[in-house]
Structure 1
Amino acid sequence: MTDDATARRIIVLRHAKADWPQVDDHERPLAERGRAEAPVAGEWLADSGLNPDLVLCSTSVRTRETWKLVSHELPKRQRHTVFEKRIYDATAGEIIEVLKETPDDVADLLLVGHNPGVQNLVEVLAGDESLGDALTQLRQRGFPTAGVAVLAFEGKWDGVEPGVAKLVSYYVPGLE
């Protein structure tokens, strides 16, 4: 069992670029660009040593396709993936409620979701210590498709709340 000072990371990934066919928004697949940029995000995660214990992924087609392409770039290891319908079209507050349900044996969690929810989540969770390059870049660039933000915090998952984390990394494929 872990204690209140356990270091944890929330890896927030926005789905890759989606296509706009004549289908319901939830059913939109990735565009060709999205199929190219998702593996690049996965390579960055692998190169950064980020290999989540648990993945919470929206149920939309584009988030599921993004996660599949990203996961192929990570070191092979048993990880649990939950396709969570509450992440689709969720606000930051709604996503925080989902995060609070994470088991305490999870150190690194990857969330695959949508804007504006994921950008708002990162900005809400990022505390004052985050007022550095990563947060400045996020606020200037927004949260483009296949963008990744990594937040670090100490404590239990049920303690996730505004200002609890520090934004430690921000990456967008093609914007190095």
Structure 2
Amino acid sequence: MSAAVSSGGMSAPAPATTRKLVLLRHAKADWPEGSDHERPLAERGRKDAPAAGRRLADLGIAADLALCSTALRTRETWKLAVPELPERPRTVYEERIYEAAPGALIELLNEVDDEAATVLLIGHNPGVQALTEILAGSVAGERAARLSGRDFPTAAFSVLEFTGPWKSLEPGVATLTDYWAPHEV
């Protein structure tokens, strides 16, 4: 287990615990010359990131752990979203999230200590959207129609639930319980 992801030494809840995974795509970024990793948020992104945080707070989502890509646009998204939450979760900046495929993200999440019931991952597309689709064995309510056939826009997030330890997270085990995107009609 990665020391960066593990909360270390605490006893784990029973394996039947229901867990939440929130997958947040970074807010809209600028395209300046230079490294993709160091792209800053655009003006719209600086407005949408706090809106995503407010929506998470409105849904009553209280993360125990936030895993954030090391890219500048994800760090800025998190910095603007987190003040909107009722409590700041422990945050780990994880370079493995940058440009990660869904399988690599699942491997990372499998390392999370079971002390964390709710994890918020701040990442990038196509990984965030693909991970949502791969993990969601079922979809609750109208969320299927809202997510189906759509892009996963910047500052959008999905909320998935599954039962069991983090090491049991695999394709098809979760239920998509919510999906939100800024600027939805």
What is the TM-score when the length of structure 1 is the normalising length? 0.95
Name which of structure 1's ranges 8-17 and 129-138 shifts more when overlaid on structure 2. Answer: 129-138
Greater than 4 Å deviation, 4+ residue runs: none
Deviations along 1:49-103, whole A, 9 cap, x unmatched? 01210000000000000001000100134x2101000000000001000000000
1:67 aligned onto 2:115: no
Alpha-carbon separation, structure 1, partners of 2:140 and 2:120: 22
Match of 1:165 in 2: 174
- In the alignment, which of 123, 138, 142 is matched to residue 151 of structure 2? 142
Q: Percent identity?
A: 56
1:2 aligned onto 2:13: yes
Q: Which runs of 5+ in 2 are unaligned?
A: 1-11
Alpha-carbon separation, structure 1, partners of 2:133 and 2:141: 12
Q: Is residue 62–residue 87 contact of structure 2 (8 Å, CA) maintained in 1?
A: no
Question: Which residues in structure 2 correspond to 1:150-161 (within 5 Å)?
Answer: 150-161=159-170
Q: Which runs of 5+ in 1 are unaligned?
A: none
Instruction: Write the letter of the residue equivalent to 1:105.
Output: E
Secondary structure in structure 2 of the residue aligned to 1:72? helix
Deviations along 1:23-59, whole A, 9 cap, x unmatched? 2100000000000000000000000001210000000
Instruction: Write the letter of the residue equivalent to 2:30.
Output: D
| TM-fit CA distance, 1:173 | 1.2
Match of 2:6 in 1: none
What is the TM-score when the length of structure 2 is the normalising length? 0.91
Alpha-carbon separation, structure 2, partners of 1:33 and 1:2: 40
| TM-fit CA distance, 1:139 | 2.3
| TM-fit CA distance, 1:131 | 6.8
Question: Which residues in structure 2 correspond to 1:95-106 (within 5 Å)?
Answer: 95-106=105-116
Alpha-carbon separation, structure 1, partners of 2:171 and 2:63: 22
Secondary structure in structure 2 of the residue aligned to 1:59? coil
Q: Is residue 140–residue 177 contact of structure 2 (8 Å, CA) maintained in 1?
A: no
RMSD over aligned CA atoms reads: 1.1
| TM-fit CA distance, 1:13 | 0.2
Secondary structure in structure 1 of the residue aligned to 2:91? strand
- In the alignment, which of 112, 121, 137 is matched to residue 111 of structure 1? 121
